[in-house]
């Protein structure tokens, strides 16, 4: 299929940027300001959708923005895999915007203008990462995302928030330095940084150099929160819940794993990865993270922190899929990006709802809240079951592919890891569900003030939970079609 | 000869006349001083842009003062490198000139304003002269003009400690001037000429002489003091902190850059790359010291409790970046270093302008007094954040581009460790920039001590101070995108410098 050239990708990024200019200008008028957020979210979603058909046909869209540096100009390029991320981010941003407005207003948070300004820039950066045509462009948007999410993370401005914010910034910026070094090294080895399906590094340096380079990339994509460099993610839990949702589902961690998959498929290529033994390395890191993070989640009483460790663990499913270096593995990895995003955002939404309408952060305090906010808690259960990989939720699809990949590759260990992790998921989620619905607090009157969250929050919760069910029944539209195209690309086959 | 051919000398003569005119105008009515000053700087700026344009399209411009050809006469040379630096410093000088008015009215005793503008003008003349001259002794003369003007300007603030700072600088600056003069004398003894172009040719035969080596060392040390290259930066923190805000902006951006310019000129144009790399291998040494400068300057900056002092130490670190490019001495790294001359001038100018405006508005430069200041001064803090991001090297600002070039150059030369130091240095920059950001933006919605924004009125500051500040901040971002345009100038400049290799 031919590359077509339109300015739509640039428009998609420009929309939230324009919104970010307008938001501070009309900051005094709350409704107008939040209206701009919503309109921008809708417009951006529409513009991503408008590109979908041509991508589904196997086409690609390229926009050259401006010549920039030796090694790469600022170029946007929409392909199937980028579309997976962009579509996920655009959809979830739309829902998250409604939710955030409801959340911020319910709690009467301060500095809302700053909050929505940063939100708008952050989503622009996330889409930029999805549409990056080369490592330079990717790096630029990646760094912008780091900086602009900092004010969101430290939003509450307490001593604790500032301390955790520093940790967040330190991890991500140091990661950024490694990524920059990796990008420059790649350029020196090959003279280019543009992504090529199937990779372009082959034969450009000694195996040792390429292995070191891969490690640089791995540390660079610290946003993927693999252990032991995951500590920024739990630290970022001081943020308001819509931010957590944004970090965990819409953009930030997704950007990290997206980057690693990009590197594997479009810089190294699976064959080269296999030759260099990088699959094994990834598998070890991923397995370690999956199990350890699940254990951490098990003992955490703060619901948001438990979810954070759950994210750390789930992200490594994606790395695990990549590490198999096979079609099924990549399939599972790529599919897990949107699926995990939809499930995890639901969980965070409900955790935030518990804070807003019940004022409860700790699982041990949540006894019986399911009776007062049944819909929200039901949706939590739906998503939790999905994460555990049980039908009829989308979680099972990606895990199935991962299992198939493990069996095909004859990697029994990985199968054990997957099984153990599924058991652990059940072990840390089901007690929450039990507490919510079946436990009763000693003092029943403490539940009196608990109600369902406002509609701006409840509707997004229901929608995201439903989406994960819809994906289970209709997986091909559109995510799996996109993923198949992407995999055909990197495997060097003609697009089906 | 048409007027156009005579233009280069106007760059010097006209402002000298203007300086006298300012004095005369001040005698008549103080209010006329500033317009004359501003118009002169504007004229110089337009002229410098014109020259840059000419150089890019027609090659270098040579002008023989009084029609005397070298070696007898003095020659003015505007090539890609000096054209670039000239345009950079005049841009900053113009921004400072616009910014200065209100700040000076507040910080300088009223009766001193006339002499202040005269000296300000002389400082600019000296710096422009150093940039365009092709004669080493003439360079020394202009250096002294600018230095003496700078000593007085630093001492002109209302604070008594500024005399100490100025005196410190006077001592070290004179020492530097002495070194430079000795160096120039040595060169003259060996070659019998003072013209840069001729020196470069004649020196080739004498590279083995001890006289030449000593001249080289004297010059390097002299200019390193003027440029505040670590560990010869000791005059800098006091001078930057104590000087009136507008003077700080000018000396931190323009003056330091011109000293670096002169150093590069001597290293690459008077001496040649083959001398500094092979005959007298100094680049390795520069590289080591600049790596130390980057780290030490940043660490010292982190430890400061005063915003201006913090920025001053940051300059020590940033000068290290520029010298790093010289130390690596390949095309890419040198381009990065030259780009950083422009980039650092823009961002440091902007940051000092913010500091100056905070002093203007709040009467303090202590970080601890600035809690929650973003509420009161949102535009200034946004400008600080933008320029600060550039200082850290966050894309897509100009600071990132120069960092990228420097690291790429270091990688290409196989200097892995140094590249790592450079990257670590940018992390340290995060620490000191973030000290202000945290205090300004996030220091306590829960803190009673935060600046009360109701009592201080609504306006953030005079437009004449806000506009140049914002302009520089936006330029940090815009030039990050349109860097290709800048590189078209810097590429030939780096070619020119490395040409002899």
Helices (H), A107-158: 112-130, 135-153
For chain B, which residues make up each domain, given as ranges?
312-501
- How far apart are the C-alpha atoms of A221 and A312, rounded to whole Å? 13
Instruction: Output the pLDDT for position A495.
Output: 44
- How far apart are the C-alpha atoms of B399 and B343, rounded to whole Å? 6
ipTM of the complex: 0.88
The answer to whether A173 contacts B427, with C-beta atoms less than 8 Å apart, is yes
- List pLDDT tens digits, range B213-271: 899 999 999 999 998 888 888 888 888 888 888 888 988 888 888 999 999 988 888 88
Out of A74, A158, A180, the one facing B407 most closely (by C-beta) is A180
Residue A334: how many CB atoms within 10 A of its CB?
A: 30
A149 token code pair = 């999410």
- How far apart are the C-alpha atoms of A21 and A302, rounded to whole Å? 36
Smallest CA–CA distance, residue B487 to chain A, in Å, is 10
Asked if B383 and B354 count as a contact pair (C-beta separation under 8 A), the reply is yes
Q: For residue B78, what is the enclosing H or E element?
A: strand B75-78
- List pLDDT tens digits, range B64-105: 887 788 777 888 888 888 889 999 999 999 999 999 888 888
- How far apart are the C-alpha atoms of A119 and A97, rounded to whole Å? 9
Residue of B nearest to A189 (CA): B412
The answer to whether B408 contacts A110, with C-beta atoms less than 8 Å apart, is no
Instruction: Output the pLDDT for position A4.
Output: 61
Query: Above 60 in pLDDT, residue B500?
Result: no
In chain A, which residues have their Cβ closer than 8 Å to the Cβ of B424?
Answer: 177
List B133's β-bridge partners, or say none.
B76
- Per DSSP bridges, beta strands B75-78 and B61-64 are antiparallel
């140049």: which residue's tokens? B468
Helices (H), A75-111: 80-106
Instruction: Output the pLDDT for position B454.
Output: 45
- List pLDDT tens digits, range B135-166: 889 999 999 999 999 998 888 877 788 888 88
- List pLDDT tens digits, range B265-278: 888 888 888 888 78
Instruction: Output the pLDDT for position B128.
Output: 92
Secondary structure class of B64 (helix, strand, coil): strand
- List pLDDT tens digits, range B405-460: 999 999 988 888 998 999 888 889 999 998 888 888 887 555 544 444 444 455 77
Residues of chain B with a CB closer than 8 angstroms to some CB in chain A: 332, 389, 394-396, 400-401, 404-405, 407-408, 411-412, 419-420, 423-424, 426-427, 430, 434, 438, 441-446, 481-484
CA atoms within 13 A on the CB side of A139: 33
Q: What is the mean pLDDT of residues A457-469?
A: 88
Instruction: Output the pLDDT for position B456.
Output: 47
B255 token code pair = 């003056």
pTM reported for the whole predicted model: 0.91
- Provide the pLDDT confidence category of residue A496 given band limits of 50, 70 and 90: very low
Instruction: Output the pLDDT for position A489.
Output: 85
- List pLDDT tens digits, range A11-52: 899 999 999 989 888 878 888 888 999 999 999 999 999 888
Backbone angles phi, psi at B143, to 5 degrees: -60, -45
The answer to whether B407 contacts A184, with C-beta atoms less than 8 Å apart, is yes
Backbone angles phi, psi at A77, to 5 degrees: -150, 120
For chain A, which residues make up each domain, given as ranges?
3-490
ω into B231 cis (within 30 of 0): yes
Query: Above 80 in pLDDT, residue B193?
Result: yes
- List pLDDT tens digits, range A335-392: 999 999 989 999 998 988 888 888 888 888 888 888 888 888 899 998 998 888 887 7
The answer to whether A154 contacts B442, with C-beta atoms less than 8 Å apart, is yes
């Amino acid at each position: 299929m031919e590359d077509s050239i339109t300015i739509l990708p640039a428009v998609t990024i420009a929309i939230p940027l324009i919104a970010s200019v307008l938001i501070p200008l009309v900051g005094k008028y709350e409704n107008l300001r939040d209206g701009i957020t919503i309109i921008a979210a809708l417009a951006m979603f529409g513009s991503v959708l408008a590109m979908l058909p041509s991508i589904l046909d196997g086409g690609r869209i390229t926009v050259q923005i401006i010549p920039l540096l030796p090694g790469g100009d600022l170029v946007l390029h929409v392909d199937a895999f980028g579309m997976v991320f962009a579509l996920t981010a655009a959809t979830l941003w739309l829902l998250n915007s409604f939710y955030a407005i409801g959340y911020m207003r319910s709690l009467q948070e301060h500095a809302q203008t700053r909050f929505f300004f940063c939100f708008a820039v952050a989503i622009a950066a996330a889409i930029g990462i999805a549409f990056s045509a080369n490592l330079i462009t990717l790096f630029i948007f990646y760094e912008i995302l780091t900086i602009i999410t900092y004010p969101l993370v430290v939003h509450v401005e307490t001593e604790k928030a500032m301390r955790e914010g520093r940790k967040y910034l330190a991890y991500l910026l140091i990661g950024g330095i490694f990524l920059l070094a990796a990008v420059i090294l790649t350029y020196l080895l090959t003279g280019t940084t543009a992504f090529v399906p199937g990779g372009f590094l082959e034969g450009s340096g000694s195996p040792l150099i390429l292995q070191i380079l891969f490690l640089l990339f791995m540390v660079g994509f610290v946003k993927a929160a693999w252990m032991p460099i995951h500590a920024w993610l739990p630290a970022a839990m001081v943020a308001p819940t819509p931010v957590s949702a944004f970090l965990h589902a819409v953009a930030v961690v997704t950007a990290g794993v997206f980057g690693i998959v990009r590197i594997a498929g479009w810089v190294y290529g699976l064959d080269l990865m296999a030759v260099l033994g990088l699959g094994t390395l990834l598998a070890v890191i991923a397995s370690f993270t999956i199990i350890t993070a699940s254990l951490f989640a098990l003992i955490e009483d703060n619901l948001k922190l438990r979810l954070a460790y759950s994210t750390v663990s789930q992200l490594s499913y994606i790395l695990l899929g990549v590490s198999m270096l096979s079609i099924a593995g990549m399939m599972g990895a790529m599919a897990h990006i949107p699926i995990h995003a939809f499930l995890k955002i639901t969980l965070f939404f409900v955790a935030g709802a518990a804070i807003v309408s019940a004022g409860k952060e700790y699982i041990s305090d949540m006894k019986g809240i399911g009776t007062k906010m049944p819909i929200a808690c039901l949706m939590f259960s739906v998503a939790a079951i999905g994460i555990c990989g049980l039908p009829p939720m989308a979680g099972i699809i990606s895990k199935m592919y991962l299992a198939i990949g493990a069996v095909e590759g004859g990697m029994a260990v990985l199968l054990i890891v997957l099984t153990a992790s599924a058991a652990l998921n059940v072990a840390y989620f089901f007690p929450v569900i039990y507490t919510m619905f079946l436990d009763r607090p000693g003092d029943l009157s403490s539940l009196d003030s608990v109600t369902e969250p406002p509609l701006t929050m409840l509707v997004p919760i229901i929608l995201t939970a439903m989406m994960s069910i819809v994906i289970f029944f209709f997986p091909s539209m559109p995510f799996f079609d996109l993923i198949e195209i992407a995999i055909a690309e990197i495997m060097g086959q003609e697009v089906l | 000869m048409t007027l156009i051919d005579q233009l280069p000398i106007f760059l010097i003569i006209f402002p000298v006349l203007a300086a006298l005119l300012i004095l005369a105008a001040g005698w008549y009515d103080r209010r006329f001083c500033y317009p004359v000053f501003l118009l002169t700087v504007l004229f110089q700026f337009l002229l410098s842009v014109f020259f840059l344009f000419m150089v890019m399209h027609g090659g270098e411009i040579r002008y023989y003062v009084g029609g005397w050809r070298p070696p007898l006469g003095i020659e003015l040379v505007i090539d890609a490198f000096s054209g670039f630096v000239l345009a950079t410093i005049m841009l900053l000088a113009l921004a400072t000139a616009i910014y200065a008015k209100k700040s000076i009215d507040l910080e300088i005793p009223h009766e001193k304003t006339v002499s202040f503008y005269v000296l300000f003008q002389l400082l600019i003349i000296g710096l422009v002269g150093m940039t365009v001259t092709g004669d080493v002794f003439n360079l020394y003369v202009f250096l002294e003009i600018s230095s003496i003007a700078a000593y007085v300007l630093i001492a002109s603030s209302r604070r008594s400690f500024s005399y100490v700072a100025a005196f410190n600088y006077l001592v070290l600056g004179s020492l530097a001037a002495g070194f430079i003069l000795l160096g120039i004398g040595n060169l003259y003894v060996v070659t019998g000429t003072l013209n840069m172009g001729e020196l470069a040719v004649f020196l080739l035969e004498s590279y083995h002489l001890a006289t030449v080596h000593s001249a080289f060392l004297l010059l390097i040390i002299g200019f390193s003091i003027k440029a505040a290259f670590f560990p010869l930066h000791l005059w800098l923190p006091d001078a930057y902190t104590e000087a009136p805000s507008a003077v700080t902006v000018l000396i931190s951006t323009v003056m330091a850059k011109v000293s670096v310019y002169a150093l590069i000129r001597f290293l690459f144009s008077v001496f040649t790359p083959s001398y500094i790399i092979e005959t007298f291998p100094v680049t390795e040494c520069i590289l080591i010291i600049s790596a130390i400068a980057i780290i030490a300057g940043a660490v010292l900056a982190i430890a400061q409790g005063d915003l201006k002092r913090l920025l001053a130490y940051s300059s020590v670190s940033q000068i290290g970046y520029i010298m790093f490019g010289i130390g690596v001495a390949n095309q890419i790294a040198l381009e990065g270093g030259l780009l950083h001359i422009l980039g650092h001038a823009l961002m440091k100018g902007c940051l000092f302008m913010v500091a100056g405006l905070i002093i203007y508005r709040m009467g303090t430069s202590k970080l601890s007094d600035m809690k929650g200041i973003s509420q009161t001064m949102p535009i200034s803090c946004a400008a600080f954040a933008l320029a600060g991001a550039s200082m850290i090297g966050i894309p897509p600002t100009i600071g990132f581009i120069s960092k990228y070039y420097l690291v790429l150059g270091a990688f290409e030369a196989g200097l892995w460790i140094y590249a790592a130091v450079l990257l670590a240095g940018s992390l340290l920059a995060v620490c000191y920039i973030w000290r202000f950001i945290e205090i300004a933006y996030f220091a306590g919605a829960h803190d009673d001590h935060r600046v009360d924004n109701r009592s201080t009125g609504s306006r953030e500051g005079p437009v004449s101070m806000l506009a140049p500040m914002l302009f520089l901040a936006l330029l940090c971002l815009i030039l990050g995108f349109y860097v290709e345009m800048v590189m078209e100038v810097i590429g030939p400049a780096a070619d020119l410098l490395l040409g002899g290799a």
